Amino acid sequence: MLRSARQNRASNGAGVNLHEWREASRERRMSDIEFAGISKTFPRGRSEFTALDNVSLKIPDKEFVAIVGPSGCGKTTLLRMVAGLETPSSGVVRVGGRPVHGPGADRAVVFQQFALFPWKTVRENIAFGLKCKGMSRAEREKLALRYVEIMGLTGTEDNYPHQLSGGMQQRVAIARSYAIEPEVLLMDEPFGSLDAQTRILMQEELIRISRVNPRTVLFITHAVEEALYLADRVVVLARNPGRIVEIMDTRPTREAEGWDRLASEETMEMPGFGHLRAQIWRLLRREMQAPSREKEKT
Amino acid sequence: MRTRALIGGATFCVLFLSWYAATDLFQLIDRHRFPSPTDVLVAALQIINRGYAGGTLITQCLYSLRLVVLGFFFAVLTGVPLGIAMGLSRRFEAFINPAFLLIRPIPPLAWIPLAIVWLGLGDSAKILVIWFAAFVPAVINAYSGIRNIDPTLIAAARVHGASSQVVVRDVLIPGALPMIFTGLRLSLQASWTTLVAAELVGALFGIGRVLIIAYRDIYPAMIAVGMISVAVLGALTTKVLSIVEERVIRWRHT
Amino acid sequence: MAAHLSSRQARHELALLSLAGTVVFFGLWQGVAVSGLVSNYVLPSPVEVITAGLAMLVEPFAGNTLQGHVLASLGRWAAGFALAAALGIPLGLGMGHWRVLDAIVSPVFEAYRYIAPLAWVPFAALWFGTGIGGPIMVIFTGAFAPCLVNAYRGARQVERHLTEAARTLGAGGARVLLEVLLPGALPSVISGLRVAAGLGWQSLIGAELIVVSSGIGYVLVQGQSNLAPEIVMAAMLAVGLTGLLIDVALRATESRIKRRWGQPA
């Protein structure tokens, strides 16, 4: 693949040896995500509500997968299962071949509400995961500052979260997650609280970082365009009950139309992009208008 | 929800059994200092049937309850209107405030010796102190209740042509009721605390007197009975207040 | 009505009213005391009260000077308060985070809460005699509940995604408690400390009325048995003033912390 203009920009602007960083990322283990027959039911009064019904999905190592779907389709639940914050009613979630048993630093989460510790500075927030790992103070500081630079946060190290804009706060959250070099990055509608312009900038930022330091990413969103722009594959989920209706691979179209050489607004004007977008919308519309499938089961 | 109740019940059982084992069964604790379940039961039966420190359990409880109720009602009848008046009129508040600020930090219990100097060891001294203890939270909360009403509601009333009287009657006072009731709950709590203290210091009758006589007689089981009675009375009166609150503030969702 | 008085003139008016109120209050008091309407053994005049108070600063009464008594009381209060905070805060935080702990402790706590703190005085006296343990225990029972309840509420309102974020970054139980729950709950905890301080101080005075032989509460009792209301009232003012100073100091700490974290003070 040709190095895009954006990638060139990345290594010039950041002032950090991105080559080193990229090399370091290759040394990690294979970390694929596997959902095997996942179901999740909640008790509702006397009956049950099926949030997810026998969902199976494999995400290979270093693939960027987005899940889209209407609210209540269970996409956040799937992410939380990988994070270890929720357990499936049946089925197993595996990361790198190992079943998930609880939260851990190998699966970092970026939350929609940023979840930055309000009483810690930017520097301290980013260093938090490193502290949990038992790193010495000097090493923590060095690494945290490195990520401050990479995420374009220079100058804010000693600020508190409430002093930063939404976009900056989310950058800190992303830096905090990247700092622990997780095997898997889980992002739960991370740009949902941002205004439209900041959102677009953050999407471009995320592409830049993930091209330089790729890892397995599971990205939840209800914005179809965002999903298509960012991800290698887009999984469309329906609700009632939650299940996969379609998985679309953007890579053929992405390469054919050269999205990586374009800015985001140009990408979204491309016919291939529009075609995929329309397809997904048709699916979503159909699912939203269809009666609940629950009644069809015996 | 049910697991929670089960765990709670289990904890009580474990605690009770340990208590029983430590005192009755294995005699690990000196029963002159810490009563066993059987001791407490015996003491309870004694005070219920034959009486202690001058009366049966019922008489003692009723005596104390009467004092609390009197002090509480006086406090509510004086405190709530004062608080409302201070909330309604900044001028009135400015006038009263200095006196209030001087008196407010003094703990109600500190009034007991003065009340005894003024009124002796009888009922009136205790009612006075209880009145004072319940008065302060009632005033403060009534005041806050009025002041914290969303000004938009007042504006909405005025825009509909409501006169000042109507605004006070139909917007301010109902709006302040939740906070007033919070104040009443605090007042009730303070009333019981003060009653117990006042009766401990000097009384001829009542639950506090039971406690003090039991202490002098080195009768820990009776002390326990007294404490349990205080707790039960406190819980009962609080429950009654809750019921009244629910009736009065039907529009509130908890 | 509570109309919007915003002009400087209005504020002057209010200040004048406060002044008037103060004058009226002290004037009435002085007037009634001096007039002979009420026996001087009952209502001493403000002047007499202040004089008695100042006298006690210099001459010992009931074993110590006024400030000596106040310090003795403060010492007991501080010990009981520290104990209540040391036990109540971690327990409250833990209960707020781990539901099992909450289920175990809550019922017992609710039952204990209904017992007025001073009802413990007989047991305290029985177990500790006139030693320092008695008042400390009573102060503890008064100060414990607000410490625990506010730590609990504080921990509960720490947003779930903060503890989740900590766990997904690799934090274990102890770290979550110390680095997330405690700082997150700190405003509420400080608020609880403020309430606990006040309640502890009140319980102390109550305990000192009954079972000790030094301290400001003892002064109150001695003043009462000597039928010297001016001493009683001077001591009452000392009690109130000390309690007020404690509250002001804690309030200032509370504001500082809230401001640091960008919350309204």
pLDDT tens for A189-231 read: 999 888 888 899 899 989 888 888 888 999 999 899 999 999 9
| pLDDT at residue B158 is higher than 70 | yes
Among A142, A165, A181, where does a domain finish?
A181
Q: How many domains does chain C have?
A: 2
Domain assignment of residue C265, yes or no: no
CB-side exposure of A185: number of CA atoms within 13 Å?
27
Tell whether C226 is within 8 A of chain B (Cβ): no
Query: What percent of chain C lies above the pLDDT cut of 90?
Result: 18
Q: Is A253 exposed, middle or buried (0-12, 13-18, 19+ CB in 10 A)?
A: middle
- 3-state secondary structure string, chain A? CCCCHHHHHHHHHCCCCHHHHHHHHHCCCCCCEEEEEEEEEEEECCEEEEEEEEEEEEECCCCEEEEECCCCCCHHHHHHHHHCCCCCCEEEEEECCEECCCCCCCEEEECCCCCCCCCCCHHHHHHHHHHHHCCCHHHHHHHHHHHHHHCCCCCCCCCCHHHCCHHHHHHHHHHHHHHCCCCEEEEECCCCCCCHHHHHHHHHHHHHHHHHCCCEEEEECCCHHHHHHHCCEEEEEECCCEEEEEEEECHHHHHHHCHHHCCHHHHCCCHHHHHHHHHHHHHHHHHHHCCCHHHHCC
User: Residue B183 and residue B11: Cα distance in Å, rounded?
Assistant: 33
Q: What is the mean pLDDT of residues A58-77?
A: 89
Residue of C nearest to A126 (CA): C169
Q: Which of residues 7-36 of C touch B (CB under 8 A)?
A: 13-15, 17-22, 24-25
Please list, residue by residue across A3-17, b when 16 or more beta carbons sit within 10 angstroms of its beta carbon and e when fewer do.
ebeebeebbeebeee
Q: Look at residue A5 in the predicted model and tell me its pLDDT.
A: 45
A128 chain-C contacts, CB cut-off 8 A: 166, 169, 171, 179
Q: Look at residue B122 in the predicted model and tell me its pLDDT.
A: 81
Strands A47-59 and A33-44: antiparallel
Q: Look at residue A108 in the predicted model and tell me its pLDDT.
A: 92
**Which residue among A109, A119, A120 places its CB closest to the CB of C168?**
A109
Instruction: Categorize the per-residue pLDDT at A295 as very low, low, confident or very high, splitting at 50, 70 and 90.
Output: very low
Tell whether C13 is within 8 A of chain A (Cβ): no
Residue of C nearest to A180 (CA): C169
Q: How far apart are the first and last CA of chain C?
A: 28
**Chain A partners (3+ C-beta pairs within 8 A):** C
C180 chain-A contacts, CB cut-off 8 A: 117
Tell whether A165 is within 8 A of chain C (Cβ): no
Instruction: Categorize the per-residue pLDDT at B253 as very low, low, confident or very high, splitting at 50, 70 and 90.
Output: low
Instruction: Categorize the per-residue pLDDT at A293 as very low, low, confident or very high, splitting at 50, 70 and 90.
Output: low
User: Is there a single domain that holds both residue C94 and residue C13?
Assistant: no
Domain assignment of residue A49, yes or no: no
User: Is there a single domain that holds both residue A153 and residue A197?
Assistant: no
Q: In this complex, do A105 and C179 lie within 8 Å of one another by their Cβ atoms?
A: no
How many contacts (CB atoms, under 8 Å) link B and C? 170
User: pLDDT (tens digit, 9 = 90+) per residue, C202-252?
Assistant: 888 888 888 777 888 888 888 888 888 888 888 898 898 898 899 899 888
User: Is there a single domain that holds both residue C53 and residue C79?
Assistant: yes
Domain assignment of residue C2, yes or no: no
Instruction: Categorize the per-residue pLDDT at A279 as very low, low, confident or very high, splitting at 50, 70 and 90.
Output: very high
C166 chain-A contacts, CB cut-off 8 A: 117, 128, 132
User: Is there a single domain that holds both residue A137 and residue A175?
Assistant: yes
A248: left (phi over 0), alpha (psi -120 to 50) or beta: beta
Tell whether C246 is within 8 A of chain B (Cβ): no
Q: What is the mean pLDDT of residues B29-45?
A: 84
Domain membership of residue A144 as a residue range: 117-181
Q: How many C-beta atoms lie closer than 10 Å to residue C67's C-beta?
A: 14
B19-23, B41-45, B63-67, range with the lowest pLDDT: B19-23
| pLDDT at residue A297 is higher than 70 | no
Domain assignment of residue A236, yes or no: yes
Domain assignment of residue A122, yes or no: yes
- Retrieve residue B54's tokens: 């001058």
| pLDDT at residue A263 is higher than 70 | yes
Do C43 and B117 form a contact (C-beta atoms < 8 A)? Answer: no
Q: Look at residue C79 in the predicted model and tell me its pLDDT.
A: 93
A51-65, A239-253, B158-172, C148-162, range with the lowest pLDDT: B158-172
Q: Which of residues 79-118 of C touch B (CB under 8 A)?
A: 99-100, 103-108, 111, 114-118
Q: How many domains does chain A have?
A: 2
User: Is there a single domain that holds both residue A80 and residue A189?
Assistant: yes
User: Is there a single domain that holds both residue C72 and residue C27?
Assistant: no
Residue of C nearest to A163 (CA): C262
User: Is there a single domain that holds both residue A261 and residue A289?
Assistant: yes
pLDDT, chain B, mean = 86
Q: In this complex, do A111 and C167 lie within 8 Å of one another by their Cβ atoms?
A: no
Q: Look at residue B1 in the predicted model and tell me its pLDDT.
A: 65
Residue whose C-alpha is closest to residue B220's, from B17, B43, B15 = B43
Which of C17, C101, C199, C244 best tests the B interface by mutation, with the highest count of B CBs <10 A? C17
Residue of B nearest to C239 (CA): B106
Residue whose C-alpha is closest to residue A268's, from A186, A219, A174, A204 = A204
User: Residue A117 and residue C95: Cα distance in Å, rounded?
Assistant: 21
Q: In this complex, do C179 and A111 lie within 8 Å of one another by their Cβ atoms?
A: no
Domain membership of residue C17 as a residue range: 8-41
Q: In this complex, do C5 and B220 lie within 8 Å of one another by their Cβ atoms?
A: no
Domain assignment of residue A34, yes or no: no
A102 chain-C contacts, CB cut-off 8 A: 167
Q: What pTM does this model have?
A: 0.75
User: pLDDT (tens digit, 9 = 90+) per residue, B172-183?
Assistant: 888 888 888 888
User: Residue C204 and residue B173: Cα distance in Å, rounded?
Assistant: 37
Tell whether C155 is within 8 A of chain A (Cβ): no
Q: Which of residues 117-156 of A touch C (CB under 8 A)?
A: 117-120, 128-129, 132-133
Q: Look at residue C158 in the predicted model and tell me its pLDDT.
A: 86
Instruction: Categorize the per-residue pLDDT at A10 as very low, low, confident or very high, splitting at 50, 70 and 90.
Output: very low
User: Is there a single domain that holds both residue A73 and residue A203?
Assistant: yes
Do C185 and C198 form a contact (C-beta atoms < 8 A)? Answer: no
Q: In this complex, do B109 and C206 lie within 8 Å of one another by their Cβ atoms?
A: yes
| pLDDT at residue A284 is higher than 60 | yes
Q: In this complex, do A177 and C169 lie within 8 Å of one another by their Cβ atoms?
A: yes
* Most trustworthy range by pLDDT among B52-56, B100-104, B249-253, C152-156: C152-156
CA distances from residue A54 to A35, A37, A57, B105 in whole angstroms, order as listed: 9, 4, 10, 65
CB-side exposure of B215: number of CA atoms within 13 Å?
23
B55 SS3 class: strand
User: Is there a single domain that holds both residue C112 and residue C27?
Assistant: no
User: Is there a single domain that holds both residue A157 and residue A15?
Assistant: no
| pLDDT at residue C17 is higher than 70 | yes
User: Is there a single domain that holds both residue A157 and residue A253?
Assistant: no
Do C253 and C191 form a contact (C-beta atoms < 8 A)? Answer: no
CA distance B71 to chain C (A): 17
Q: Look at residue C65 in the predicted model and tell me its pLDDT.
A: 86
CA distance C25 to chain B (A): 6
Q: How many C-beta atoms lie closer than 10 Å to residue C256's C-beta?
A: 11
User: Is there a single domain that holds both residue C117 and residue C164?
Assistant: yes
User: Is there a single domain that holds both residue A288 and residue A259?
Assistant: yes
CA trace torsion C61, C64, C67, C73 (10° rounding): -110
Q: Look at residue A218 in the predicted model and tell me its pLDDT.
A: 95
| pLDDT at residue B77 is higher than 90 | yes
User: Is there a single domain that holds both residue C99 and residue C34?
Assistant: no
User: Residue A292 and residue A296: Cα distance in Å, rounded?
Assistant: 8
Q: Look at residue C121 in the predicted model and tell me its pLDDT.
A: 87
**Which residue among C21, C107, C120 places its CB closest to the CB of B99?**
C21
Which of B7, B136, B147, B153 best tests the C interface by mutation, with the highest count of C CBs <10 A? B7
- CATH class entry, domain B37-248: mainly alpha
User: Is there a single domain that holds both residue A139 and residue A221?
Assistant: no
Chain A meets chain B (3+ C-beta pairs below 8 A): no
Q: How many C-beta atoms lie closer than 10 Å to residue C208's C-beta?
A: 29
Q: Look at residue A57 in the predicted model and tell me its pLDDT.
A: 92
Q: Look at residue A4 in the predicted model and tell me its pLDDT.
A: 47
Q: What is the mean pLDDT of residues B189-197?
A: 88
Query: What percent of chain B lies above the pLDDT cut of 70?
Result: 98
What are the residues whose beta carbons fall under 8 Å from the beta carbon of B22, sequence distance 6 or more? Answer: B28, B29
CA trace torsion B99, B101, B107, B113 (10° rounding): -20
Which of A111, A158, A183 best tests the C interface by mutation, with the highest count of C CBs <10 A? A111
| pLDDT at residue C127 is higher than 90 | no
The complex scores an ipTM of: 0.79
**Chain B partners (3+ C-beta pairs within 8 A):** C
Query: What percent of chain A lies above the pLDDT cut of 90?
Result: 44
Q: Look at residue A1 in the predicted model and tell me its pLDDT.
A: 40
Q: Look at residue A47 in the predicted model and tell me its pLDDT.
A: 81
Q: In this complex, do C20 and B196 lie within 8 Å of one another by their Cβ atoms?
A: no
Domain assignment of residue C142, yes or no: yes
C118 chain-B contacts, CB cut-off 8 A: 109, 193, 196-197, 200
Domain assignment of residue A24, yes or no: yes
User: Residue B233 and residue B227: Cα distance in Å, rounded?
Assistant: 10
User: pLDDT (tens digit, 9 = 90+) per residue, A128-172?
Assistant: 989 998 889 999 999 999 999 888 899 999 999 989 998 899 999
Q: Look at residue B66 in the predicted model and tell me its pLDDT.
A: 92
Q: Look at residue A123 in the predicted model and tell me its pLDDT.
A: 93
Q: Domain-by-domain residue ranges, chain B?
A: 37-248
| pLDDT at residue B41 is higher than 80 | yes
Rounded to 5°, angle at Cα A127 from A126 and A128 = 95
Domain assignment of residue C13, yes or no: yes
User: Is there a single domain that holds both residue A145 and residue A275?
Assistant: no
Tell whether C138 is within 8 A of chain B (Cβ): no
Domain assignment of residue A226, yes or no: yes
Instruction: Categorize the per-residue pLDDT at A292 as very low, low, confident or very high, splitting at 50, 70 and 90.
Output: low
User: pLDDT (tens digit, 9 = 90+) per residue, C64-121?
Assistant: 888 888 998 999 999 999 999 999 999 999 898 888 889 889 888 888 888 888 888 8
User: Is there a single domain that holds both residue A198 and residue A270?
Assistant: yes
| pLDDT at residue C265 is higher than 80 | no
**Looking at residue C101, which CATH number applies to its domain?**
1.10.3720.10
Tell whether C265 is within 8 A of chain B (Cβ): no
For residue B107, whether the previous peptide bond is cis, meaning omega lies within 30 degrees of 0, is no
User: Is there a single domain that holds both residue C55 and residue C23?
Assistant: no
Q: Look at residue B251 in the predicted model and tell me its pLDDT.
A: 67
| pLDDT at residue C264 is higher than 50 | no
Q: Look at residue A12 in the predicted model and tell me its pLDDT.
A: 43
Instruction: Categorize the per-residue pLDDT at A23 as very low, low, confident or very high, splitting at 50, 70 and 90.
Output: low
- Retrieve residue A119's tokens: 């009483």
User: Is there a single domain that holds both residue A241 and residue A259?
Assistant: yes
Q: What is the mean pLDDT of residues A78-105?
A: 90
A228-237, A276-285, C233-242, C251-260, range with the lowest pLDDT: C251-260
User: Is there a single domain that holds both residue C33 and residue C52?
Assistant: no
* Greater model confidence, C37 or B187: B187
Q: What is the mean pLDDT of residues C155-170?
A: 90
pLDDT, chain A, mean = 85
Do A176 and A126 form a contact (C-beta atoms < 8 A)? Answer: yes
Q: In this complex, do C261 and A107 lie within 8 Å of one another by their Cβ atoms?
A: no
CA distance C183 to chain A (A): 7
Do B225 and B53 form a contact (C-beta atoms < 8 A)? Answer: no
